[in-house]
Structure formats: structure tokens, C-alpha cells
Amino acid sequence: MSRNRSSRHTQQWKDTAIPRRPLLWLAAALLFTLPPLFGNLASWVAWLFLLALALKFWMEPRGYRLRSNVLKLILAAVTVGAIFLSYGTLKGIEPSVSLLAVLVSLKILEAHTAREFQVMVMMAWVLCLCGFLLSQDFAFALCLFVAFTLLIAALVQFHRGSSPNAFWLPLASTLKLLAQAAPVVVLLFLLFPRINTGFPLRIGDLRSAVTGFSDRLSPGSILALANSPDIAFRAEFPDRRTGPVGPMYWRGLVMWHCEGMEWRAPYAPASISDSSQRNPASDKTIRQRITIAAHAARWMFALDRPVERPSSAMLARGNYLYSFQPIRKTRRYEVLSSTDPIGRQLNVHDRREALQLPASISPAVRELAASLAAPDSEPRVTVNNALQYFRTQGFSYSLTPGEYKKNDLEEFLLHRRTGFCGHYAASFATLMRLAGIPARVVVGYLGGEYNDLGGFFLVHQADAHAWCEVWIPENGWTRIDPTIVVAPGRASQDLSSFLAGRVASGEMATGRSSFLTQLARLAFVSQIRSLWEALNFQWDTRVMGFDADVQDVLLTSLGLTNSGPLMLVIQVLIVIAALLIIYAGWMQIRTRPRVDRVKELYERFCRKAAQLGAQREPWEGPADFAQRAGRLLPNESERIRQISTTYIALRYSPQPAGVFHDTFAKEVSAFAARR
Amino acid sequence: VKAGKFPLLYPTASFVGLLFVLTAMWYAASSQNSPAVYLLLFGLSAVFLVSIPHTLLNLADVTIAPESAKPAFAGEEVSVPVEIMNCSRTTRRGIELVLPRSGGEHKHVDYIPAGKAARVTVRFPAGQRGEHSVGTFRLTSIYPLGFVRVLKKITSSQTYLVYPKPSGDPRLPMDPARSPHSRPQTELGEGDDFAGVRAYVPGESQRHIDWRAVARGQPLMTKQFAAEAEGSVHLDFSALRFPGIEERLSQLALWVIEAERVRRPYGLRLPDTNIAPDFGEAHFHRCLRALSLFRSEQA
């Protein structure tokens, strides 16, 4: 009885070792799926994953197995509990992906037959999918692509068995497969209809954290961006090779509401029609194609100042772009800007708003404003006086000016006199309003890093900037940047290199490691960086930018939308099938055994003889067959004898003469004709 | 050997897994409208699609040649050596050979270089006595990715013989010609004069194997002993008194083995066949072949 049971158990547990090499490939692939997970999941999940992999490699050669069902259940329960504790919920994308990663870890530990290898590969593919849901960054995409390749290599190695070949040969087969698959991928990616099913898997809202500006300019808001390495947007100039002459001011949003040191943009800006603004002379306009990173707000950027809006945005009062929808994923748009100053006249409503002031302005500041105002109320003079005040009265530029608390405007203008662009723009605009000149604050970016390889400008969050616009009657809204009066270098470089230059010249103390700064300045490092940025840009524009809407445009321009999605699917599949047939034919031709012309001809002769009634037996030599066939077909005996002699000569004589081939072929043909 | 004209192609179990993964990807991609996930989806689909011609052509110009199988006694195991030839100009990998009648055992060949051949031996229990056709081989492969299987059915005209299972009384009949209905009485073949060794014949009693020689690494040999009676023995089908034909054939087979072992000339007399007394390997197989092919209606 007991013997019976134990034998049944061994039957049930009959396990086969998972071959080592495929497991190695799989482990490598899984390691590459990890980076996106590490950044986005509770860190213990990734560590558990690594631990499971390591344990498996320790267990497998020793034949250890995780067999106890109770233990498996306990492990599963503990990990699910841990996920719940980490996130407080099991719903949502992160807990779900964590759950999946944990299940993969447990599966790796538990797997005990070679058959389960396939299951592990499938799970790894789902992990790749999760990686893309968590992050669509180019660096992570690259990791996941490597993981994808390694997974295929693992499968190839698994089915290849134990060939005594070099370790990397499966990778060669894999790359060949991928190369052949590439046209199919391109075809599917471009043409396969993307039907938006609107399934309830809303992850996008959750994932896109708000980055960039808020609609409020307070002294701290730009500081938060100055240290950010993130990219705000990339800009190309399709009509010219390089950017505009002079500093590039990228207009973001315009703030009308003044609270002293704090400024605010309208919550729901009014739209202005762009036709009324269309005045640009063509030599002063510049077309830009901008790829903006997701930032969950609605600002869109353009060179100061946009005159033609893209279809996805409106021109808001103050001449800035305001998207109809929050920008939750990378978006690409074209916009036309003009370098001309804006506006011919200021309407009453705008003038009132551009002169609005908070009630709580200290008398000292009012006094200062009055002293700066020109007696004949000539705005240009007042502006110059104010700039002169900043230039000469010991103001300095610093990213760490300390906190301004009570009565910040007075504290900044009259006592401490140190700050960065936010302080200067806000205080300058307030001073102008106090002096009776309509003024507003513009927030955006200044500068941009040119990428040689990609031919585009890269604008980082750290390039964030704030400046002012004042109304000068004969000129319209005129840009005044008080910051460059204080820090003249800032206009020609982006913020980080400006700061780096200051650190190098000893003007500023820094907490950063100077090694890194020096490394970043090496020529080849910056080349690699610019290559990386160019690739990044291609990924964002060519791949991430190609969504259902862009595809629609492409399909329409190709004239493929008339027949409906089903027809399109069928057409795509037909093209792919044709491609596969071409591949198959090509591989078949390359591997087919070389044809033996003489043998073929002789076989043709034999077939004909068989039709006439003389069937050659498999064991019969040509000479024997010729004799027998000659007897069976007396009319043909002469030709049969001749064919056989020629055949024997061609096959077995050491150097058959070339002329034989032709006569042989003729003889065989003649043999048919005589019938 | 005759191969089917076109290889068949059908999905494997892991294709279901792939479908599941692709569906999950499609679901995520379409609900997110995410180009990156679409790229992953199309990448996996494309690799799968491209792997189909690879699998399909993995058996192109691969053919098999079953070699002649050694006859086996009923109840033993038949082994058919099969040569898998790769006539193509490239290495073929991951080839499996299945003989359905052998109970579906997969013979896996990891790789065959271009123009070379691999040998596998298909084993299966010998069924009833008689001559059987090896039947249809199934040559399959799922290389490189394992989502589809290509199948080539190759029917072989190769046959194998199954001899009747030897059983019954090992004592040879004394003089069956004279007294056809008497049971054999004399015990022969067990004499104690050692007369040398010869190759072991499957089905023989293991008692006489020269195990010491085996221990020295030599092949299986049977010790032979000089028989006491030297006269030839006639093994007569109609002289046996068993009711069943199979029982009689089994008895005759056993006697043939015993007589061959003691190298005593033996003749076989079946209702329509008469084999003159002789001994030696050729004679031995001739007799057993006659027993194997004996048809019931002959009786």
C-alpha cells in the first residue's frame, strides 16, 4: 500500500532538469526587464526577483526543488500580503505589476520541468509589457528591447538542444529572425489599424506626474525646476538649419495678476482669434516643430511669440498657446512665431488688468517706484531707470537667495538684493505697474542645447525662465528681461552651464562634485550625450509620437482609409504573407541540395522507360537495366544502349567531356519523341 | 520510403500561451493608445510570423531511411534503427521522430549537420507473431520558437518479423517420426561435455550464457554442450497434441531454440512447409520465419 503511494508520488513529481543554457538566457532577459520595475515598484519586489533567480541557479544543478504545496501557498500569501502592506491596496497598476513580478519570482523557484520553461518565457513577456506601462522612457525601452531579444534567444536555445556550439550562436539566429521580422514590424506599426477600444485600463492619469510650471510664479517655483534634469521639449526648425539669431525666449504662459512678489495666470484664459494677430512679415517669422514632454498641464511652448496656433491649442490672451486638453503624453506640433513686437493698441480692459496692483504695497516700495518714474512719464525712460537701478545698486544673481517672508518685495528691492529670474521679473513688473506702465510677467524657457546629430534644440526644465513685458505705446508689448541686466551671461547659455561657469570662476560655491562637472565638459562625453539625446528624440517623435491620430493622418494621405479597417487588416496580412513566402523561397533556394543534371536526365529517361513498360528496379544498375529494357523494348534498344553508355561515362569516368552533356540531353529528349 | 507531398503545420500548446500574451498586449495597447506597447505587440507578432517559414523549412530535404529491423520474439522489444538524413546545405536542428505504433515516444535529435545523417533507434514491444509493416513515421520539428509544429508523415515499406513466443516443454521430442503422439521423454541438450561457445540468440534460455565472458567484456555467448543423442530431430506441427495453434507454434519455437543451442540437426514439418534437418543461424531463422508466417487457415 505505502509502496504503491510512493510510486504514484514519484510519477507525479517526475521532473526534468531545466537545461542550463536556456535558463541563463532567460535570467539575462529577466534582468533587463528589471530596471523599469526598480524605479517604479516597491524595491523589495525587485530584490525578491533577483533573489529567486539566484536561488534557482543554486538549486538547479543540485536538483533541489520546491515541492511542498503548503510552503508554496505560504510564500504566495506572504508576498501578496507584503504587496498589500506596501501599497495599501491591490488595485492599480503598481500593485498589479508587483503581483505579477512576485508571481514570476515564485514560478522561477517552483518550476521543475523543462515544459515550464515556456510558461516562464510567457510571463517574462508580460513583464516587458508591464515595463512599458510603467515607463515609456527611451532608456527603459532600450532595456526592454534587449530583454525581448534575449527572450527569443532563450527560446531558440531551448529548442536547439545541446549542440556543442558556441554559447552565443542562438543570439545569431535570433538576430537573423529579428532582421527578417523588422519589415513586418514596420508594416504593422504603420498600417495596422489602432482601434481605440476604450477599455477601462486608465493608467495614463496615474502615471503622468505634474512637471514643469504651475500657473503661479512664486520665488520658489522656478527654483524647483532649476535642479531638474528632465527635458521640457525639443524644437526643430523645419525651414532653416539653425535656430534664430539671438537668445531664444520660449513663451509659456502670461501672468496678469500681481500680488507683489507673486504672480498668477488666469485659471481659464480667454481665447483671441489668430487672424486678428496676423501681421507678420515673412522674413520675421520662424516655423518650429516642437515635441513636448507630458507635463499634465496645458501650456505649450513656442518662440516668443506665436502667431499661428496648432490645431490642438488656442491662442490665449497674452499671446501664448493653451492646449484644449491636458498634455498627458508626448505631443508634437507645428507653430509659427514672429519676432515682431505684439499689438497696436491696448484696449481698456487689458490696460486695467495690466495695471492691477495689490493693496499691500509698502510705502518704501511706492517711494522707490515714484523715484524711478520719469517726470514726463515717458515709459522708455522709466524702464531704463529701473534697469539702471538693478544694474548699479548691488543686485546679485543667486539660486540660493534664502527665503523671503514678510514684506518680500521691500526686502528684495531695498535690502537683500539677491535673487534669480523669478524675483527680478516679478519685482520689475510690479515696479512698472507702480510707475503707471502696463506690465505683465511671462514664464517660459530661455535657451536650448543644440544637438548636431538630430538637428534640434533640446530645452530642459532647468532652462525655465521668467521675464517681463511692458506696454510702450508706439511699440506695443515689449520684452524686458531684468535678469540679464544682473547676470548678462544667462541669456546666451542655458542655466546649468551658466552656473557651471560661475562655479569655475569662483563666483559661486557649489555642493556638486567637481569631477562630474569636469567629466561632463569632456568633448567625447558630450558627443555621446548628444548622440543619446538624438536617439531619444527619434524614439519620442518617430515611435512614441506615432499614435492613432498621427496614423490616421498617414492613412488618409496614403488613401487607405476609404475601405475601412477590416480591408486594411486583410491587405496588411496579404503583404505580410507575401513577404513570408519570399523568405521561405529564399531560404529554400539557399539550402536546397545542389541538383545533379546528369542524374536528373537519367531519371527522366527511367520514367519514360517505365511508361513504355520497362520499370527500373531500385537495385538494378544502369547496365543491367539497359539490357533488360532492350529486351523489353526491342525497337528502342539501340537508343537505350546509347543512353546508358553515355550515362555510365558521365557518372563514373574520371573526366567526362563537356560535349557529352549535350548529347546526353538530346538522346533523352529523342527517347521521348520517338514514342 | 514514401513521404507525404506537403508537410503539415499546426500550432503547439505554447501557441495558446502566445495568443494569451498577444491579447494582453493588444488590450493594453488599445486602451492606452500607447505606441510603445503597440511596438511590443507587433514585434512579438512579427517574430512569431517570421518563425513560421523557419519551422516549415526545418524539415526541407530531411528524409529518413529505416534500416532492417532484427526479428524479435513476441513479448520482446523490436528495435528499428532509423537513419535521419539531412540532404540540405545547412544544419537542421531540433528534429523529432515519432513512430505512432511505438506508443508516441519522441526521439529527439538536437542537430544534423549539412549532408550528414543521424541514427536513432525506435523501440517498441513486439506484438503478435507474423510479419508487420513498420508503418508511418512522423518527422516533426518546432525549432526555432516552438509555437508551431511542422509534421512530415513518411510511410515506410519496411517490415519486421515477430517470431512466436517460445514456451512449453524444453525437452526435445525423442523420435517424433516413429511415435508421433508420444510426449517427448528423453532429456537432451543438457549434457555435461562442454563443446564450446557461439553467439547468443535472442529468446534462448539465459542459463547457458557464458557470464564470465560477459564480465570480461565479450559479447553474449551461449555455452554449448555435446548432446547425448546425435541423431536429427523432427519437429512436427501435426504431432503436437495441444489444442491451440499458437501454443503449438510456441512449443515448436522453443524446440528450435533448444535444438540450435545444442547444435543438433532439426527439421520442421508444418502442414504446408517442410524444412529438411539442418542447423546453423540461417536454418534457425528460416524455421522461425516459417513459424512466424504460419497462417491459421493452413492448419
A399, A223 contact by CB (below 8 A): yes
Buried-exposed string A526-553: b where 16+ CB fall within 10 A, e elsewhere: eeeebeebbebbebbbebbbbbeeebee
Q: Taking CB atoms and an 8 Å cutoff, what residues of chain B touch A204?
A: 32
In angstroms, the first-to-last Cα distance of chain B is: 35
Instruction: Report DSSP state, residue A634.
Output: G
Picking from B18, B28, B35, the nearest residue to A547 by CB comes out as B35
Residues in chain B: 299
Cα angle vertex A173, ends A120, A138, to 5°? 65
Q: What band does A149 get if pLDDT is binned at 50, 70 and 90?
A: very high
Q: What band does A101 get if pLDDT is binned at 50, 70 and 90?
A: confident
pLDDT of residue B40: 94
Distance of alpha carbon A56 from alpha carbon A645, whole angstroms: 69
Name which residue leads in pLDDT, A514 or A20. A20
* Residues contacting residue A49 through CB under 8 Å, at least 6 positions apart: A30, A34, A37, A101, A102, A104, A105
Q: Do B146 and A155 touch (CB under 8 A)?
A: yes
Residue B21: is its pLDDT beyond 90? yes
- Upper half-sphere CA count for residue A227 (Cβ side, 13 Å): 9
* Residues contacting residue A432 through CB under 8 Å, at least 6 positions apart: A382, A383, A386, A438, A439, A468, A470
Q: Taking CB atoms and an 8 Å cutoff, what residues of chain A touch B42?
A: 184-185, 188-189, 192
Distance of alpha carbon A212 from alpha carbon A231, whole angstroms: 10
User: The C-alpha cell of A390 is what?
Assistant: 538693478
Residue A14: is its pLDDT beyond 70? no
Residue B182: is its pLDDT beyond 50? no
Detail the DSSP E strand segments found in A293-407. 299-300, 302-303, 306-308, 313-316, 320-323, 331-338, 396-397
Distance of alpha carbon A25 from alpha carbon A151, whole angstroms: 7
Mean pLDDT (chain A) is 79
Residue A517: is its pLDDT beyond 70? no
Q: Packing angle between helix A637-652 and helix A597-612, nearest 10 degrees?
A: 160
Residues in chain A: 675
Handedness of CA B25, B30, B34, B40 (dihedral sign): positive
Picking from A547-551, B50-54, B179-183, which range would have the lowest pLDDT averaged per residue?
B179-183
**Chain B nearest-CA residue for A147:** B40
Residue B177: is its pLDDT beyond 50? no
Q: What band does B75 get if pLDDT is binned at 50, 70 and 90?
A: confident
Residue B229: is its pLDDT beyond 90? no
Predicted confidence (pLDDT) per residue in A596-641, tens digit: 777 888 888 888 888 888 888 777 888 888 888 888 888 878 888 8
- Look at the block and give the residue holding cell 528499428: B80
pLDDT of residue B184: 43
Distance of alpha carbon A511 from alpha carbon A488, whole angstroms: 24
Distance of alpha carbon A209 from alpha carbon A204, whole angstroms: 10
Average pLDDT over residues B3-26: 88
Residue A322: is its pLDDT beyond 70? yes
Residue A78: is its pLDDT beyond 80? yes
Query: How many Å lie between the alpha carbon of A258 and the closest alpha carbon of chain B?
Result: 40
The secondary structure element, H or E, covering residue A110 is helix A93-110
Query: How many Å lie between the alpha carbon of A18 and the closest alpha carbon of chain B?
Result: 16
Picking from A38-47, A82-91, A560-569, B171-180, which range would have the lowest pLDDT averaged per residue?
B171-180
Q: What band does A279 get if pLDDT is binned at 50, 70 and 90?
A: low
Using CA atoms, how far residue A280 sits from A283, A345, A505, B99, in Å, is 8, 16, 43, 83
Query: At residue A228, what is the residue type?
Result: S
Predicted confidence (pLDDT) per residue in A347-380, tens digit: 888 888 888 888 888 888 888 888 888 777 788 8
Query: How many Å lie between the alpha carbon of A162 and the closest alpha carbon of chain B?
Result: 6
Q: Taking CB atoms and an 8 Å cutoff, what residues of chain B touch A196?
A: 30-31, 33
Using CA atoms, how far residue A473 sits from A77, A284, A378, A409, A476, in Å, is 74, 21, 10, 27, 6
pLDDT of residue A204: 40
Partnered with residue A193 across adjacent β-strands are none
Distance of alpha carbon A26 from alpha carbon A46, whole angstroms: 16
Query: How many Å lie between the alpha carbon of A153 and the closest alpha carbon of chain B?
Result: 9
pLDDT of residue A586: 92
A520, A526 contact by CB (below 8 A): yes
Query: At residue A537, what is the residue type?
Result: F
- Upper half-sphere CA count for residue A364 (Cβ side, 13 Å): 9
Q: Do A583 and B50 touch (CB under 8 A)?
A: yes
What backbone phi and psi angles, to 5 degrees, belong to A659? -65, -25
Distance of alpha carbon A476 from alpha carbon A470, whole angstroms: 8
- Best residue in B145, B148, B157 to probe A by mutation, most A CBs within 10 Å? B145
Picking from B21, B88, B90, the nearest residue to A126 by CB comes out as B21
Distance of alpha carbon A597 from alpha carbon A661, whole angstroms: 9
Interface check B35 vs A, CB under 8 A = yes
Interface check A227 vs B, CB under 8 A = no
User: The C-alpha cell of A298 is what?
Assistant: 496645458
Predicted confidence (pLDDT) per residue in A178-187, tens digit: 999 999 999 9
- Look at the block and give the residue holding cell 508594416: A187
Q: What band does A500 get if pLDDT is binned at 50, 70 and 90?
A: low
Instruction: Report DSSP state, residue A342.
Output: B
SS3 at position B174:
coil
With helix as H, strand as E and coil as C, how does A395-425 read?
A: CEECCCCCCCCCCHHHHHHHHHCEECHHHHH
Query: How many Å lie between the alpha carbon of B150 and the closest alpha carbon of chain A?
Result: 14
